[in-house]
C-alpha cells in the first residue's frame, strides 16, 4: 500500500511534469485520508495557483500555515500569490516571515528583493539591493539576479553616480555569466544613456536586438537613445517597431519626435491612436494633443473632443476626467478666456503636473486681469547666440520640482554664457523672472540630469549649447556658493505680495518667533516616500519651545488631521487665519501662501523628501534654525539647506 509520503512524492512529480489535474486529484485524495496534512494543503495551493485559482490557492496555503506555521517555503509561496493579487505589503510581510523562519531561503530573499524593487520608493530600493546581494552570496552564478540588482541600483542611483557605476558592474557581471542575456544588454544601454555615453548605449541596444529582434522594450529604449543622439528618423523607426511589438508607451514618444520634425499631422494621428490603445501613456497623449490643438488655435474642437473623450480600456469611464478638464481649461486659457479656464478647474482636485500648471497659471492670470494687467513675456533678442531651453519645464512634478529644475538650468546657462529660454510655468509667473519665451529649433537633450549636474559642479567640461534640455531634472547639490544668486532670482513679484504677506503679518501679530513646520502625507503615502511622524516634531518642540521668545507655531500640511497632534503648542494653519479674518485665502493658490510662510519663518522644519519645504528652506533668509527628520533615528535634527563644496554644513 502506498504511504502518504509516497503519494505526496508522486503528486509532486505530476505537478512538475505539468499534469496539474492529476496532481490536484491526488492531493485531494491525500487530504481525504489526512485533512490536516499541511504539506498536501500547501502543494494543492500551488496547483490551484498554476491553474489561475488564486483566491483558492491563498485559502489553502493559509490553512497549511495554520497547521504548520514554521513552513518557510509555504510563507514564500503565500507571498507570491499575494503579489499576484496586488497586495504588495502583505506579500513583503510574508517573505519576511519566511526569512525569519529560514534566513538562508534563497527564494524568499529573491522574492522580497523583487517586490521592493518593483514597488518603488526610496525606502525600498536600498533594501531591495541588499536582498539581491544576499541571494548572490548564496548563488553567485545567477545571471538573472546580477541583472535585477543592477536595476535596483539604478533606481536608487538618481543622485549617487557611484550607484550607477555599480549598476553597470552588475549588468556586466550578468553578461559575463550569460552573454546572450538580451535584457542585460538593454539595461546596460539605459545606464549608458543616463551617463551621456550614447554611442556605447546604441551598441548595447543593437546587441540586445540581435538576440531578440522583436523585443519591444529594447526597440523603445533604442528609440530614446537615438532621439537623444539627434537621430530622429532612426528614432521614428524604432518607436514604430516598438509599438508594433506591443509597447504602446512608445506612441507618445513617436509623436514627440514627429512634432520635432515638423510632421504635426502624423503626430496628431499617432496621439489619437495612443488614446485608443491599451497600455499607452493616455495622460501624456492628452497633454500633448491638448497643447497641439491650442498651438494651432483649434480651441472649440479641443473642447468638444475632450468633453466627449473616454478611454475605451478603463473600467472607470471617467479614469482620465481630470486630464480632460485640464485640456479644456488649457484651451480657454490659450484663447484668452481666463475666467472660463479658472471656472473649469475651480472644484477639481488633482496631482498631475499639467493640471497643477494650468490651474495655477489661470489663477495668477485672473488676478492680473482683474487689475487690468497681464504678464508680458519677452522674446529672445538674439536667438542666434548660444542658448538653451527646457520646453518640458512645466510637465514633470509640481511647484518645487519645477523650480529646482529651473535652478539647475539657470546655473548651467550662467556658467557657460548661454541664454535660458523657458515656457510658461508657475515659477515664471510667481517669481520676478524675465526669461525669454522659447524660440524653437533646438535639438532635444534627453536624460540630462546627471550630465548637467556634473557640468555645473566641474566634474566634466563638455557643455552643450543650443539644446532643448528635457525633464526630469533636479539639482543634486545645493552649494553655498550659489545661495545668494539663487535667492536673488527667486523672489515673489510685487503683484503677489498683497496675497502672501498677510500670512506672515498675522503670525507676527501673534508672537515674536514664527516656527513653521511642513507635514506632508498625500502622494508620499502612495509612492512610499519616508513619512515624517508628527511625534518626532512634538518631542523636538517640547525641548525647543521654552527657549523661544513668544513662539507661534504654523503648520503647513496636506493632511489637516495631523494638526491636532500639536495641540499643546496652539498650532495655527492657513485655515485658522482665514477663519479669524486676518488672512484672505488665495483660492486655488493657497500653496503659495503656505510657501511664503515657510520661506520667511524664524525656525523652519521640513518634511522628509519634500522638495516643497526644502525649496522654502533654500530661499529662507530669516531662519536661524533649520531642522529635518532623521528617519533612521526617529528624531528631528538640525541641518543646513546650503552646503559647502566638501558637503559639510
- Residue 644 predicted with pLDDT over 70: no
| Sheet containing 513-519, strands listed edge to edge, beginning at the edge strand earlier in sequence | 551-557, 513-519, 603-605, 625-630, 635-638
pLDDT tens, position by position, 277-314: 999 999 999 999 999 999 999 999 999 999 999 999 99
* CA–CA dist 13, 467 (Å, integer): 62
C-alpha 521/C-alpha 538 separation (Å) is 17
Across 42-46, 443-447, 527-531, 590-594, which has the greatest mean pLDDT?
A: 590-594
How far apart are alpha carbons 546 and 423 in whole angstroms? 48
Q: What sign does the dihedral 425-429-430-433 (CA atoms) show?
A: positive
User: Which of 192-208 are b and which e, b meaning 16 or more Cβ less than 10 Å from the residue's Cβ?
Assistant: bbbbbbbeebbebbebb
Long-range contacts of residues 519-522, Cβ cutoff 8 Å, at least 24 apart: 519/555, 519/556, 519/557, 519/559, 519/562, 519/607, 520/557, 520/558, 520/559, 520/607, 520/610, 520/612, 520/613, 521/557, 521/558, 521/559, 521/562, 522/351, 522/558, 522/559
Task: Report which DSSP code applies to 195.
Answer: T
Helix (H, G, I), strand (E, B) or coil at 521: coil
Cα–Cα nearest to 224, from 246, 244, 242, 245: 242
Q: pTM, whole model, 2 decimals?
A: 0.86
DSSP assignment of 257-305, as one string? Answer: HHHHTT-HHHHHHHHHHHTTSTTS-HHHHHHHHHHHHHHTT-HHHHHHH
Least confident of 16-25, 190-199, 271-280, 517-526: 517-526
- Percent of the chain at pLDDT > 90 equals 70
Condensed to tens digits (0 to 9), the pLDDT of residues 368-417 reads 999 999 999 999 999 999 999 999 998 888 999 999 999 999 999 999 99
Query: Quick one: which of 429, 432, 435 has its CA closest to 379?
Result: 435
Per-residue confidence (pLDDT) for residue 525, from 0 to 100: 45
Domain assignments of the chain as residue spans, ordered by start:
387-476, 494-638
Query: 494-638: what fold?
Result: Rossmann fold (3.40.50)
Amino acid at each position: 500500500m502506498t504511504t502518504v509520503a509516497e503519494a505526496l512524492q508522486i503528486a509532486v512529480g505530476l505537478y512538475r511534469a505539468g499534469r496539474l489535474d492529476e496532481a490536484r486529484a491526488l492531493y485531494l485524495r491525500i487530504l481525504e485520508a489526512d485533512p490536516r496534512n499541511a504539506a498536501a494543503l500547501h502543494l494543492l495551493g500551488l496547483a490551484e495557483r498554476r491553474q489561475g485559482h488564486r483566491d483558492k490557492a491563498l485559502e489553502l496555503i493559509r490553512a497549511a500555515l495554520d497547521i504548520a506555521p514554521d513552513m518557510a517555503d509555504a510563507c514564500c509561496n503565500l507571498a507570491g500569490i499575494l503579489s499576484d493579487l496586488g497586495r504588495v505589503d502583505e506579500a513583503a510581510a510574508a517573505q519576511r516571515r519566511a526569512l525569519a523562519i529560514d534566513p538562508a531561503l534563497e527564494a524568499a530573499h529573491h522574492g522580497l528583493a523583487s517586490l521592493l524593487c518593483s514597488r518603488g520608493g526610496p525606502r525600498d530600493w536600498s533594501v531591495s539591493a541588499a536582498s539581491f546581494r544576499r541571494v548572490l552570496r548564496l548563488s553567485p552564478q545567477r545571471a538573472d539576479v546580477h541583472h535585477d540588482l543592477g536595476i535596483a541600483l539604478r533606481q536608487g542611483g538618481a543622485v549617487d553616480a557611484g550607484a550607477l557605476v555599480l549598476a553597470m558592474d552588475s549588468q556586466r557581471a550578468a553578461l559575463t555569466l550569460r552573454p546572450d542575456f538580451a535584457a542585460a544588454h538593454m539595461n546596460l544601454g539605459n545606464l549608458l544613456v543616463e551617463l551621456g555615453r550614447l554611442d556605447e548605449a546604441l551598441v548595447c541596444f543593437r546587441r540586445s536586438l540581435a538576440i531578440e529582434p522583436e523585443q519591444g522594450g529594447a526597440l523603445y529604449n533604442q528609440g530614446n537613445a537615438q532621439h537623444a543622439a539627434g537621430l530622429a528618423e532612426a528614432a521614428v523607426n524604432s518607436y514604430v517597431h516598438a509599438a508594433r511589438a506591443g509597447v504602446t508607451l512608445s506612441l507618445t514618444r513617436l509623436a514627440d519626435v514627429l512634432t520635432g520634425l515638423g510632421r504635426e499631422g502624423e503626430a496628431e494621428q499617432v496621439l489619437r491612436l495612443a488614446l485608443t490603445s491599451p497600455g499607452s501613456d493616455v495622460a501624456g497623449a492628452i497633454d500633448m494633443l491638448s497643447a497641439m490643438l491650442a498651438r494651432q488655435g483649434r480651441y472649440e474642437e479641443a473642447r468638444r473632443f475632450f468633453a466627449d473623450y473616454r478611454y475605451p480600456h478603463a473600467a472607470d469611464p471617467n479614469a482620465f476626467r481630470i486630464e480632460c478638464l485640464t485640456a479644456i481649461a488649457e484651451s480657454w486659457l490659450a484663447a484668452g478666456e481666463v475666467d472660463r479656464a479658472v471656472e473649469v478647474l475651480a472644484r477639481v482636485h488633482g496631482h498631475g503636473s499639467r493640471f497643477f500648471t494650468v490651474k495655477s497659471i489661470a489663477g495668477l492670470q485672473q488676478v492680473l486681469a482683474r487689475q487690468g494687467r497681464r504678464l508680458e513675456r519677452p522674446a529672445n533678442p538674439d536667438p542666434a547666440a548660444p542658448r538653451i531651453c527646457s520646453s518640458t519645464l512645466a510637465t514633470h512634478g509640481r511647484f518645487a520640482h519645477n523650480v529646482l529644475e529651473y535652478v539647475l538650468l539657470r546655473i548651467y546657462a550662467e556658467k557657460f554664457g548661454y541664454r535660458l529660454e523657458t515656457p510658461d510655468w508657475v515659477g515664471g509667473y510667481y517669481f520676478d523672472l524675465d526669461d525669454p519665451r522659447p524660440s524653437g529649433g533646438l535639438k532635444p537633450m534627453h536624460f540630462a540630469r546627471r550630465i548637467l549636474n556634473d557640468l555645473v559642479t566641474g566634474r566634466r567640461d563638455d557643455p552643450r549649447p543650443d539644446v532643448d534640455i528635457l525633464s526630469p531634472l533636479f539639482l543634486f547639490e545645493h552649494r553655498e556658493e550659489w545661495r545668494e544668486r539663487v535667492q536673488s532670482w527667486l523672489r515673489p513679484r510685487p503683484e503677489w505680495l498683497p496675497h502672501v504677506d498677510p500670512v506672515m503679518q498675522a503670525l507676527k501679530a501673534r508672537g515674536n518667533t514664527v516656527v513653521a513646520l511642513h507635514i506632508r502625507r498625500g502622494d508620499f503615502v502612495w509612492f512610499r516616500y519616508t513619512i515624517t511622524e508628527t511625534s518626532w516634531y512634538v518631542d523636538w518642540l517640547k525641548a525647543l519651545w521654552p527657549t523661544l521668545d513668544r513662539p507661534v507655531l504654523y503648520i503647513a500640511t496636506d493632511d489637516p488631521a495631523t494638526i491636532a497632534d500639536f495641540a499643546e503648542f496652539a498650532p495655527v494653519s492657513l485655515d485658522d487665519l482665514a477663519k479669524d479674518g486676518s488672512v484672505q485665502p488665495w483660492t486655488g493658490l493657497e500653496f503659495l501662501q503656505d510657501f511664503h510662510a515657510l520661506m520667511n519663518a524664524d525656525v523652519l522644519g521640513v518634511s522628509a523628501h519634500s522638495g516643497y519645504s526644502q525649496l522654502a528652506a533654500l530661499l529662507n533668509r530669516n531662519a536661524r534654525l533649520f531642522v529635518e527628520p532623521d528617519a533612521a533615528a526617529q528624531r528631528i535634527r538640525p541641518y543646513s539647506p546650503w552646503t559647502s563644496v566638501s558637503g559639510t554644513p
